[in-house]
Amino acid sequence: IDSDQLSVHPVIAEAYSAGRWRLCIITGFVPPTVASGKSKRTQPQPKVQVTFISSSNSKEDIEHKTIGVGELTTIWTTRHFDVLRGLSRDEQVRYLKNTLADGVENGIQQDFAVNHCEISMQRLYNDRASRNISTKNALTKKQIPKIVEVASDRERAEDLLRIATKAGPGMQRVVDSSDAEQYLYADEAATDESILLRRVISAEVLSKDAQLGGRFKRMPCNLVAATAEHDGDCLDCIHKITFLNGGWLAVDSGNRAGAEARKLVERAVEACTDNRRDKPKARTKTTLESAPLMTAADERIVNRLECMAMGESIEDSDGNADEKRIEVDVREALRALNLPVSASGARNALIRVG
C-alpha cells in the first residue's frame, strides 16, 4: 500500500475491534520509534491509521483511530470500488455510511432463505479444508530456521513462514469475505449499487460463523516490509507498506469439532450466569433461555448427547467403556462441563444446556 495514493485509491479493510469486526478505511501509517541501545532483532511495527465506518447516521459513529497491524483481518484487494475514487475522505465515509444505512442484519434476512448461510459456509469450508495439499517440495517447519538466518528481522520472517505453512500452498486454506460472497451469492449478478453492500454482508456472515462455530479461525494481517525515511533512530515517514493479507483459516476437522463443542459450552455457561444475575430471587432452572441452539453444530452435538443419554452403547466388544466410540465434539463438550463421558454425564449436560 502506497501512502501517497491513499487519498486517490481508497483502501477498505475489515478490522477486529472490541470483540467484533468493523469496516474501515485505511488513511495512513504511523512510524514506530526504535529506542537506541535496544536489541533490533525484533523491530517495532508501524501502526495503521483508520476511519471506522458505522451503518448509523450519527456523526459520532465516525471514529478515527490508530490500530496495530494485527487488528486488521482482511484488506480488500479487489479494485471494483471505482465509485470511491476521486472523492474526498469525508465523501468516501458518507458514501459508505449511506450504503450501509439499511443495516447488514436486514440485508441478511431479506437476501437469504433459512439455513442458506449455514449451507454456504459449509460448502466454503468443505472446498478449502478438503483440498488435496501436495507435500512435494513443500516448505517444512524444520527448514524455516535455516531460511531465516539471512533475514534482517529473523523473528518476523520466521513468523511469516510459519503462517504460510499453516495456510497451505497458495494460502488456499485462508478465506475472506470475497470468497464468502461467491458462495452466498452464487450465480447472482451484482449492480454497482449492491456490490459493496454484498461484500459487507458476506463479511458479517463469515465473522459470525467463525464466532459461533468452529469452521474458521481468524488469521490477522501481518507486516512484511515497510519503506520509510529515517531521522536518526526514528522512522520519519512511511511511504509504502507490504502486508501478508489475512482472513479466516479453515481449521482441521478434529480441531473444528472440539472448538464447536467448547463454544457451545461457553455460551451455555455465560447464559446461565446471566439468568441468575437477572433473576437473583427467582429459583430458575439451569436452562439457557437466552442462548438457544444457534448453529447446526449445536443441534448436532445435542442430538448426539440425547442418543448417549438414552443408553446408546459406548462399550467395546469386551464390555468396557470406550471413549473412542464417542464423537470428538461430544467428548469435548462433556469435558468442558467437567462431566463424565457416560450416559449420566450426557443427561446432566443436556440439563445444563437447556
Beta bridge partners of 249: 174, 217
- Under 8 Å CB-to-CB from 110, ≥6 apart: which residues? none
Report the pLDDT value the prediction gives residue 231, as an integer from 0 to 100. Answer: 57
Question: Is the predicted pLDDT of residue 19 greater than 60, yes or no?
Answer: yes
State the CB neighbour count (10 A cutoff) for residue 14. 24
- Under 8 Å CB-to-CB from 274, ≥6 apart: which residues? 290
**What are the pLDDT digits (tens) for 95-124?**
888 877 767 777 787 778 888 998 999 999
Look up residue 225 and give its three cell numbers: 516490509
38 band by pLDDT with thresholds 50, 70 and 90: very low
CA distances from 161 to 71, 104, 247, 251, 346 (A): 20, 36, 16, 18, 43
Which is nearest to 157 in space by CA: 166, 145, 172? 145
Beta bridge partners of 12: 25
Helix (H, G, I), strand (E, B) or coil at 259: helix
Report the pLDDT value the prediction gives residue 287, as an integer from 0 to 100. Answer: 39
Rounded percentage of the chain residues whose pLDDT exceeds 70: 77
**What are the pLDDT digits (tens) for 55-80?**
655 555 678 999 999 999 999 987 55
Residue 34 gets which letter from DSSP?
Answer: -
- The pTM of this model reads 0.78
Report the pLDDT value the prediction gives residue 74, as an integer from 0 to 100. Answer: 95
**What are the pLDDT digits (tens) for 322-333?**
566 678 888 888
